[in-house]
């Protein structure tokens, strides 16, 4: 009896027994947690499926967008992009070509003052000055004081260099991104002012009016790098003459934007042609999006009975059957197609494999159809009755926000997870009470053992006192 009591007192084995009993009693909670884990896994898999379906729908939206011209893309080339380069063909709908000759490119207006001695006070001798300067549609009045007073009150004339620098600073402050002025040290002590319009063309030329004092002297003796009547670009397109103030031209050929870089000795050619490679890439993107969706769904709905493995959504029939339904739709003919017109994806070289994936089984045929019959190819993807439009409708039924099939399935998962959370919480409360009850029982047992030990000790002491 004493030996048993010592074991409980030294190691408190009842605590371990309590934990073991609680662990055994936790089987129900563990089962519920396992069920919750399965539901969370299903919900995660469902989110991945939803994402892949949305991307598939978006790929169809891209193909069907009128502005994208997915089946009629055009590529533009210039016979010499260093002379004329093409920026955009967004407004052109048909292949075309243009001959362009550049007689003059647009220039920024540059006004130069006379070169003068920087330490001279010649400009100051004409007194304080002001001038109205116009650049483009902006007119500013610039004033410059040509004298200053020192600390002793003596008035001094500013040097030419100081006046030019002050004038340049005020021009830069007034005109910002319209004009730039600089005072340059030309050679030795000589200085010169340069004022440059930051936008090309006659309409952005630099103009001086109502100048007075030192600024009248300065601005009346200027020269220009380019005569004002030669600031605009001059070019010819197919024999038609154009004059523009900018080298970026977007209104000479409707829908085409190009840039003039230098003059030509002979006409250059701008060519806009069908871009079959880009159209093919657009269709490849659609096929890739479909296959990503198909793969995502198959990976999450597979059943491997031999190895007892299955995807997280294997028992969700609505998901498992989606790609099967889309594949069947993809084999249908176009509603309303006339005899001789393209009516099925298979007629442009697109087919399906046994695993549901889509592929191009005749690349040459697809390229030929895109080159020769792009309008008919477009109908297979964009008409309301086309198989691709039907596939989009079926896919959208799954991902429509709030009312889609996936939203309904996800709500079911959330409800199951919510119920499992409630049952797990109830189990936690039950196990907490159970643990307290078991610990109380072992504490009671411990007290009985301690009492037995005390009684045993009394008996032994009595026997000892009696000589036993």
Residues 67, 78 within the same domain: no
Number of domains present in the structure of the chain: 3
Strand partners, 184: 192
Residues 333, 386 within the same domain: yes
Q: Measure the CA–CA gap between 28 and 36, rounded to whole angstroms.
A: 12
Residues 313, 446 within the same domain: yes
Tell me the torsion sign for CA atoms 377, 382, 384, 389: positive
Residues 248, 303 within the same domain: no
Range of the domain at 283: 1-72+276-468
Domain end position, chosen among 242, 274, 306: 274
Task: Output the pLDDT for position 132.
Answer: 97
Task: Output the pLDDT for position 302.
Answer: 87
Residues 428, 326 within the same domain: yes
Residues 433, 399 within the same domain: yes
Residues 16, 43 within the same domain: yes
Pairing type for strands 223-224 and 108-112 reads antiparallel
Domain end position, chosen among 201, 230, 259: 230
Q: Measure the CA–CA gap between 99 and 393, rounded to whole angstroms.
A: 47
Per run of 10 residues, the mean pLDDT along the chain (length 468 residues) is: 44 74 89 93 94 96 90 92 92 89 97 96 96 96 95 93 97 96 95 97 97 96 96 97 97 94 96 92 96 95 80 90 91 86 94 94 95 92 92 94 89 94 93 86 80 83 76
Residues 173, 306 within the same domain: no
Residues 113, 222 within the same domain: yes
Report how far Cα 433 is from the mean position of its chain's Cα atoms: 55
Residues 140, 237 within the same domain: no
Residues 338, 457 within the same domain: yes
């Amino acid at each position: 009896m004493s030996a048993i009591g010592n074991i409980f007192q030294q190691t408190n084995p009842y605590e371990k027994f309590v934990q073991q009993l609680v662990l055994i009693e936790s089987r129900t909670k563990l089962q519920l947690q396992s069920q919750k884990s399965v539901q969370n896994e299903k919900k995660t898999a469902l989110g991945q499926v939803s994402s892949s379906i949305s991307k598939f729908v978006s790929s169809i939206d891209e193909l069907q967008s009128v502005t994208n011209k997915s089946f009629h893309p055009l590529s533009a080339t210039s016979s010499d992009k260093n002379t004329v380069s093409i920026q955009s063909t967004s407004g052109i709908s048909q292949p075309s070509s243009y001959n362009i000759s550049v007689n003059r490119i647009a220039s920024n207006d540059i006004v130069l003052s006379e070169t003068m001695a920087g330490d001279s006070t010649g400009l100051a001798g004409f007194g304080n000055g002001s001038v109205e300067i116009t650049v483009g549609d902006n007119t500013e009045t610039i004033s410059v004081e040509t004298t200053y007073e020192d600390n002793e009150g003596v008035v001094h004339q500013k040097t030419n260099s100081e006046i030019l620098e002050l004038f340049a600073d005020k021009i830069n402050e007034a005109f910002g991104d319209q004009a730039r002025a600089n005072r340059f040290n030309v050679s030795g002590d000589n200085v010169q002012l340069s004022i440059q319009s930051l936008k090309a063309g006659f309409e952005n030329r630099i103009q001086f009016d109502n100048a007075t004092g030192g600024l009248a002297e300065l601005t009346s003796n200027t020269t220009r790098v380019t005569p004002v009547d030669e600031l605009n670009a001059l070019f010819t397109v197919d024999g038609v003459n154009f004059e523009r103030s900018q080298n970026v031209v977007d209104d000479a050929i409707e829908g085409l934007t190009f840039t003039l870089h230098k003059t030509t000795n002979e006409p250059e050619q701008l060519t806009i042609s069908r871009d079959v490679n880009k159209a093919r890439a657009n269709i490849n993107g659609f096929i890739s999006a479909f296959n990503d969706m198909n793969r995502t769904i198959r990976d999450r709905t597979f059943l491997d009975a031999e190895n007892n493995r299955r995807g997280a959504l294997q028992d969700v029939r609505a998901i498992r059957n989606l790609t099967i339904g889309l594949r069947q739709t993809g084999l249908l003919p176009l509603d309303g197609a006339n005899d001789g017109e393209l009516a099925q994806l298979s007629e442009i070289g697109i087919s399906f494999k046994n695993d549901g994936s889509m592929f191009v089984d005749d690349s040459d045929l697809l390229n030929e159809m895109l080159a020769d019959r792009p309008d008919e190819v477009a109908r297979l993807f964009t008409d309301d009755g086309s198989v691709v439009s039907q596939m989009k409708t079926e896919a959208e039924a799954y991902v429509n926000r709030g009312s889609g099939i996936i939203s309904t399935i996800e709500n079911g998962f959330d409800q199951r997870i919510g119920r499992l959370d409630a049952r797990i919480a109830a189990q936690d409360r039950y196990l907490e009470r159970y643990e307290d009850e078991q610990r109380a029982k072992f504490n009671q047992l411990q007290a009985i053992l301690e009492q037995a030990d005390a009684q045993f000790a009394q008996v032994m002491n009595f026997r000892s006192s009696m000589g036993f």
